Amino acid sequence: MKLHEYQGKDLFRAAGLPVPKGEVATTPDEVAAIAQRLGKVVIKAQVHVGGRGKAGGVKVASTPEEARVLAGRILGMDIKGLTVHKVLVEPALNIATEYYAGIVNDRTSKRFVLMLSSMGGVDIEDVAHSNPEAIIRVAIDPAFGLQDFAIRQAMKDAQFDRTKSRELGAVIKGLYGALVRYDCLLAEVNPLVVSAEGDVVVADAKVDIDDNALFRHKDLLPYREESFDNEMDRQATEQGLTYVHLGGDIGVIGNGAGLVMNTLDVVTASGGKPANFLDIGGGAQAALVVKAVNMVLSDPEVKGIIFNIFGGITRCDEVARGMLQAAQEMDIRVPVVVRLAGTQEAAGRALLEGSQYAPVASVQEAARTIQELIGR
Ligand code: GDP
Ligand code: MN
């Protein structure tokens, strides 16, 4: 679950990190009223993407009137396909130095890795490419946690300001504390600012919470509602489906993430464009299959659908029953090809005989056939 900056900052504040006192607003009038109280402010778009600064979603306003005008531009703005509905308004900073501090789940080392850089700010992704040695990486042994000496060494290697090492070190330690406490996959501060006045300030927050751990963070449930970037994401989560919109016109439904990704590759290799990734998971019941078909069909771009089912704990006959039920409950106007293999394959195929679903023997044939049926 991705958090907005203001939500991440709430968690960091609770963990004792130096977070500016900010307020969230949804209208220019509210922003002007906040600016009236705070003075010179920074207005920041709250959307789940990086690079808001470069996209014009972060602006400094000197007066309430200027704040109202700038808020009017930012609210409703489109940043990388996402509409801005909320802004965070904070007292503006006099930035002297911008550091990067992040802790990420590194699947290669199977550890959380602390990353520090003195080249923080809006271009950290470029730094990672052009100047990777400017980012110090330290793998964290979960048995020992992030030790103070490791923090000190990493800050030295990253050439952090030594006169601020106590405050900066406390932020890094607190960041790890928050990461563990909230089961984060990512906890990042960019920029971690040292102001002209010498204050260390957490100026941005990027947090991603492990969905599989949400059951033990009931206090984070209020954030759930704002974690969806569109209606499809919300529906999928509520129905227990893993759905990712991809923008093409061939709907893809399968059981198991690897199988679905493989299907996407084969569709792409045969010249098609997948509309989505949709994993119904293992052991799917008919009712879930109905929801999956409904989900894919709610995308108006979809011109055809591929079902790729490999029966393990999933039973092909159960999936077939779901498909027949879907055909009864809704008007499926697009061609659907079906590859069924594995547990109860014969029973599944028998059920689909005479239905509108076209059986195919392999995923390659599925990709070819759906293109033909669409008329390409
Ligand atoms: P991002 O671009 O989505 O990562 O958003 P950030 O919150 O990191 O903001 C981008 C840039 O805006 C930062 O690197 C700063 O240079 C600048 N910025 C952010 N907050 C402030 C602030 O309070 N005051 C000033 N003057 N600049 C800020
Ligand atoms: Mn940032």
Task: Choose the catalytic residue: 30, 188, 318, 345.
Answer: 188
What's the CA gap between 353 and 324, in Å, rounded?
Answer: 10
The pocket of ion ligand 2, defined by CB under 5 A, consists of 190, 204
Q: Is the pLDDT reported for residue 225 higher than 90?
A: no
pLDDT, mean of residues 324-350:
96
Q: Give the whole-angstrom CA distance, residue 3 versus residue 88.
A: 13
Task: Determine if ligand 1 sits within 6 Å of the CB of residue 95.
Answer: yes
Catalytic residue among 99, 100, 176, 357: 100
Mean pLDDT (whole number) for 37-42: 98
Q: What percent of the chain has pLDDT over 70?
A: 100
Ligand approaching nearest to the C-alpha of 52: 1
Answer whether 122 contacts ligand 1 (Cβ < 6 A).
Answer: yes
**Confidence band, pLDDT 50/70/90 cuts, at residue 218:** very high
Domains, the chain, in order of start with CATH, read 21-91 (3.30.1490.20), 95-222 (3.30.470.20), 231-373 (3.40.50.261)
Amino acid 238: pLDDT: 84
pLDDT of 237 reads 83
| Position in ligand 1 atom list of the atom nearest CA 52 | 3
Q: Cα–Cα distance between 171 and 177 in angstroms, integer?
A: 10
How many other C-beta atoms lie within 10 A of the C-beta of residue 86?
17
Q: How far is the CA of 69 from the centre of ligand 2 (A)?
A: 23
Q: Which among 223, 187, 229, 204 has a CA at the least distance from the CA of 58?
A: 204
Ligand 1 in reach of 249 Cβ (< 6 A): no
**127-156 tens-digit pLDDT:** 989 999 999 999 999 999 999 999 999 999
* Ligand 1 atom nearest 203 alpha carbon: 20
Residue 100 annotated among the catalytic residues of the structure = yes
Compute the distance from residue 203 Cα to the ligand 2 centre, in Å.
8
Q: Which ligand is nearest to the CA of 101?
A: 2
Burial class (CB in 10 A: 0-12, 13-18, 19+), 73: middle
CA distance 358 to 307: 10
Whether 52 lines ligand 1, by a CB cut-off of 6 Å, is yes
Residue 273's CB: how many other CB atoms inside 10 A?
A: 14
Evaluate whether 98 touches 189 at the Cβ level (below 8 Å): no
pLDDT for 172 equals: 98
121 CB near ligand 1 (under 6 Å): yes
Q: Is 53 in the pocket of ligand 1 (CB under 6 A)?
A: yes
Reduced 3-state DSSP string for 315-373: CHHHHHHHHHHHHHHCCCCCCEEEEEEECCHHHHHHHHCCCCCEEECCHHHHHHHHHHH
pLDDT tens track for 233-272: 888 888 888 899 999 999 999 999 999 999 999 999 999 9
Residue 125: pLDDT band (50, 70, 90) is: confident
Amino acid identity, position 284: A
Q: HSE-up of 354 (CA within 13 Å, CB side)?
A: 2
